[in-house]
Amino acid sequence: MKAVVPKQPGGPEVLEYVDVPDPEPGPGEVVVDVAATAVNRADLVQRAGHYPPPEGASEILGLECSGTVHALGEGVEDSEYVGIGREVCALLAGGGYATKVAVPAGQLMPIPDGVDLVTAAALPEVAATVWSNVMMVAGLRAGDTFLVHGGAGGIGTFAIQLARALGARVLTTAGSPEKLDLCRELGADVAIDYREQDFVEVVAEVTDGHGADVILDNMGASYLARNVDTLATEGRLVVIGFQGGSTAELDLRTLFRKRAAVISTGLRSRPVSEKTTICGAVAEHVWPLVADGTVRPMIGHTMPLAEAAEAHRLMESGGSTGKILLVV
């Protein structure tokens, strides 16, 4: 099969489109013929040599895909959508930048009604990340105030729509007029220009001092203290990325006074059993919202798999909104 692999740690130029051995399904796994995959920021970090895959996972980049079931491993029984020839999308621990990938059967999900096979590659990672963190971990409820940073990106565009659909008031940050407009179009009640405005002040003003009940943050260290300042009493900050660094000081008295929580979670390294539970919840609760158009997958760019290096350059430039897809 063909796959995109880095010849060494480095920039986008290290990515090569080469022949590699076909994957074989292990017990409880299936092999999928990949139709498309999507670029995630974690792929860039792995390419640079700073984010190795979990033990036993493919060294090939790629945390999600869509495609057609090609082969079933030992113990996998034909079911409603786990069967030879069925179109699926999948949450991966690695291996998506290839023409075939092996994946635990529990991490397969059906294609939502009304979504084409290629577009479905934009859904697994964002849907599983947002649902598991915003709902399962932070417990966002109708009427809560929700703040998501990076609202024009893949995670942000999905989080805005899902939180709005669940009845939350949605605030977000973005870095250009065009991105702010996109966030508003997707349902953000307040869009904050982080280059020109202090989100702590804006959130305090628009919530009459209440703050945000739940914050989904991809920046990490550089936003930590300001995020805690922004939290409401008993608020929950969930950190899912470290674009602003991984080490910071925090005055715990602020956290103590607010009876608030700071949580940092990852999805890729979770056990298969947990990811299976998350995928099942996504298919049950999120896919109906996608099928009826309440939540739309946002595609910024679509490129051939062989042009993965250019896709990485585009993501690093910050010039894309929504998801970047790589098509086989």
DSSP string, 30-53: EEEEEEEEEE-HHHHHHHTTS-PP
Instruction: With 0.85 as the threshold, say if the pTM is over it.
Output: yes
Q: 2-123+268-327 is classed in which CATH architecture? A: Alpha-Beta Complex (3.90)
Residue 74: DSSP 8-state: T
| Structure tokens given for 88 | 């699926």
- The pLDDT of residue 79 is 76
| C-alpha span between 43 and 312 (Å, rounded) | 8
Confidence of residue 81 (pLDDT cuts 50, 70, 90): confident
- Per-residue pLDDT tens for 112-141? 999 999 999 999 999 999 999 999 999 999
| C-alpha span between 255 and 228 (Å, rounded) | 7
Residue 73 pLDDT exceeds 80: yes
Q: How far lies 64's CA from each of 54, 106, 121, 140, in Å?
A: 15, 14, 6, 25
Domains 2-123+268-327 and 127-264 share a fold: no
Instruction: Tell me which amino acid residue 8 is.
Output: Q
The dihedral through the CA atoms of 144, 148, 151, 153 has a sign that is: negative
| C-alpha span between 311 and 12 (Å, rounded) | 9
Helices (H), 122-172: 124-130, 154-165
State which fold the 127-264 domain adopts. Answer: Rossmann fold (3.40.50)
Confidence of residue 318 (pLDDT cuts 50, 70, 90): confident
Instruction: Read off the pLDDT of each residue in 137-153 and give the average, rounded to a whole number.
Output: 97
Question: DSSP string covering 195-209, please?
Answer: TTS-HHHHHHHHTTT
Residue 213 pLDDT exceeds 90: yes
Instruction: Read off the pLDDT of each residue in 200-216 and give the average, rounded to a whole number.
Output: 98
Domain residue spans of the chain: 2-123+268-327, 127-264
Residue 328, SS3 per DSSP = coil
| C-alpha span between 326 and 97 (Å, rounded) | 8
Q: Which of 234, 212, 233 is CA-nearest to residue 223?
A: 212
**Would you say 70 and 33 are in contact if contact means Cβ atoms under 8 Å apart?**
yes
Interhelix angle for 177-186 vs 154-165, to 10°? 30
Strand order in the sheet with 212-217: 190-193, 169-174, 145-148, 212-217, 231-239, 261-264
Measured from the Cβ of residue 284, the count of other Cβ atoms closer than 10 Å reads: 10
Q: Which residue has the tokens 């999905």?
A: 158
| C-alpha span between 166 and 189 (Å, rounded) | 14
